[in-house]
Amino acid sequence: MYSVRRWASRHARFFEAVYNGFEAVLTSLHPLFRRIGYARMDKPVAAVEKLVKGFLFDTKMCGSCTLGATGMVCPMNCPKSMRNGPCGGVRSNGHCEIKPEMPCVWVDAFAGSRLMRDGDRIQGIQAMVDHRLQGSSSWLREVRRKKGVPEIGDAAG
């Protein structure tokens, strides 16, 4: 259990590069997305996103992805949904206060961030989650942000 996502965090630098490349490709597809319509694209893209990120990072599809700023570890796996660092309850062996069998998400996130080129992004403050975005594609959201396309009716999907 947790082996794939922990493996991914140990290779955070590699996945950071892959991710950055992938993002560039997606961004270049913006004209196509626009032609089809972002609203219509969201469901199928979110399905693929869920499959890929779910397998690699166990992501929870909160819709406001932070992977690049959290050591390529999904913070929504933290039972307290901590998005800005570890709570005070981390066990002395580095495991989670709430799920003793699970290594604390933030111990892995911090270790992962130390391997990354842009690892210091972990010092930035993540805003509170917009729960309406749950299940929508954060890949497309990122492209829209880059291209200055307004959110679909605020919450996508």
Partner 1 sequence: MTMLDNPAAGHFLPLEPGHSSPGRIEKLLRAGEFTVTAELSPPDSSDPEEVFEKARIFDGSVDAMNATDGSGANCHMSSVAVCAILRRANYSAIMQVSCRDRNRIAIQGDVLGAAAIGVASILCLTGDGVQAGDHPQAKPVFDLESITLLAMLRKMRDESRFQSGRKITHPPRVFLGAAANPFRPPLDFRPIRLAKKIEAGAQFIQTQYCFDVERLKQFMARVCDMGLHKKAFILVGVGPLASARAAEWIRQHVPGVHIPDSIIKRLAGSANQKQEGKKICIEMIQQVREIEGVSGVHVMAYRQEELVAEIIQESRVLGGRTPWYPGIDEP
Which residues in this chain contact partner 1 in the complex, by CB under 8 A?
A: 79-92, 94, 97-98, 104, 106-107, 110-111, 122-123, 125-129, 131
The nearest distance, CB 16 to ligand SF4, in angstroms, is 21
Q: Angle at the Cα of 152 (from 149 to 156), degrees rounded to 5? A: 120
Residue 1 binds: one of partner 1, ligand SF4, none (C-beta under 5 to 8 A by kind): none
Subset of residues 3 to 62 that bind ligand SF4, contact rule: CB under 6 A: none
CA distance 133 to 52: 18
> 10 Å Cβ neighbour count for 5?
23
90 sits near ligand SF4 (criterion: CB under 6 A): yes
The nearest distance, CB 98 to partner 1, in angstroms, is 4
Residue 27 binds: one of ligand SF4, partner 1, none (C-beta under 5 to 8 A by kind): none
Residue 105 binds: one of partner 1, ligand SF4, none (C-beta under 5 to 8 A by kind): ligand SF4
Look at residues 78, 134, 65, 63 and name the one whose alpha carbon lies nearest to residue 109: 78
Residue environment code for 39-75, b if the CB has 16+ CB neighbours within 10 A, otherwise e: eebbeebbeebeeebeebbbbbbbbbbbbbbbbbbbb
Our CB check for ligand SF4 shows the closer of 63 and 86 to be: 86
Tokens of 106: 């933030």
Helix (H, G, I), strand (E, B) or coil at 103: strand
Of 61, 96, 109, 140, the one binding ligand SF4 by CB under 6 A:
96
84 sits near ligand SF4 (criterion: CB under 6 A): no
Query: Which residues are at the interface with ligand SF4 (CB under 6 A)?
Result: 78-80, 82, 86-87, 89-90, 96-98, 104-106
